[in-house]
Amino acid sequence: MEDVKVNDFVLMVRTLWGEQKKRELLYLEALKKDSMGPFRKVLSQGHLSAVLFQRELHSIYDYFKCFLTDKELGVADMNMRPASLLKDLNDTEEVAGLFKKIEAGILQLYKTLRAHVDRESEARQVLDEHLLRISEFYDTFSKLEMVNRKKTTYVAAA
């Protein structure tokens, strides 16, 4: 990679790592809610994947960063409070909708980042695996959102 591309790539990996950190904290906050019931398994899996993806992104970042100019990854960069996003959401449909939106944004970041990596590289394989897993979470949240919406419609009709 050329220097300009490497700098852009490093910034994108840093941004994606931050999004994964936010994702981890959001999943933890959602798990604290009493109304999540059967939704807890998906939330737990999401939390674990966010932690794992952060570690893998950290390795990619460390490999490509410039030790003289690029900062270490850390929580100090974050400016979001996950509790505020989930505060007014009480049922699983609303929470699933929020996570669906967040996962969609992260999918876009991964797709953009993928374009900067050689096809045969190990970093590309890691990004592809993350992309696949987050796509699965997106699909799961889409289904949960629709199932709960249908239940609400049936109850309202009765």
| Burial bucket for residue 25 (CB in 10 Å: 0-12, 13-18, 19+) | buried
Its domain, for residue 44, covers 3-157
pLDDT of residue 93: 85
* Total domains, the chain: 1
pLDDT at 131 over 90: yes
pLDDT of residue 151: 55
Residue where the block lists tokens 């994947």: 49
- Tokens found for residue 104: 């969609």
pLDDT, tens digit (0-9, with 9 covering 90-100), for 94-121: 888 889 999 999 999 999 999 888 888 8
pLDDT of residue 20: 93
State how far the Cα of 81 lies from the Cα of 152, in Å rounded to an integer: 30
pLDDT of residue 4: 45
31 contact partners, CB below 8 Å, separation of at least 6: 40, 43, 44, 47
pLDDT, tens digit (0-9, with 9 covering 90-100), for 23-77: 999 999 998 888 788 789 999 999 999 999 999 999 998 888 877 667 777 765 5
Q: What is the CATH number of the domain that holds 131?
A: 1.20.1260.10
pLDDT of residue 38: 77
Q: How many CB atoms lie within 10 A of CB 78?
A: 13
pLDDT of residue 33: 82
Residue 81 confidence class, pLDDT cut points 50, 70, 90: low
Q: How many CB atoms lie within 10 A of CB 46?
A: 25
DSSP 13-58: HHHHHHHHHHHHHHHHHHHH-GGGGGGHHHHHHHHHHHHHHHHHHH
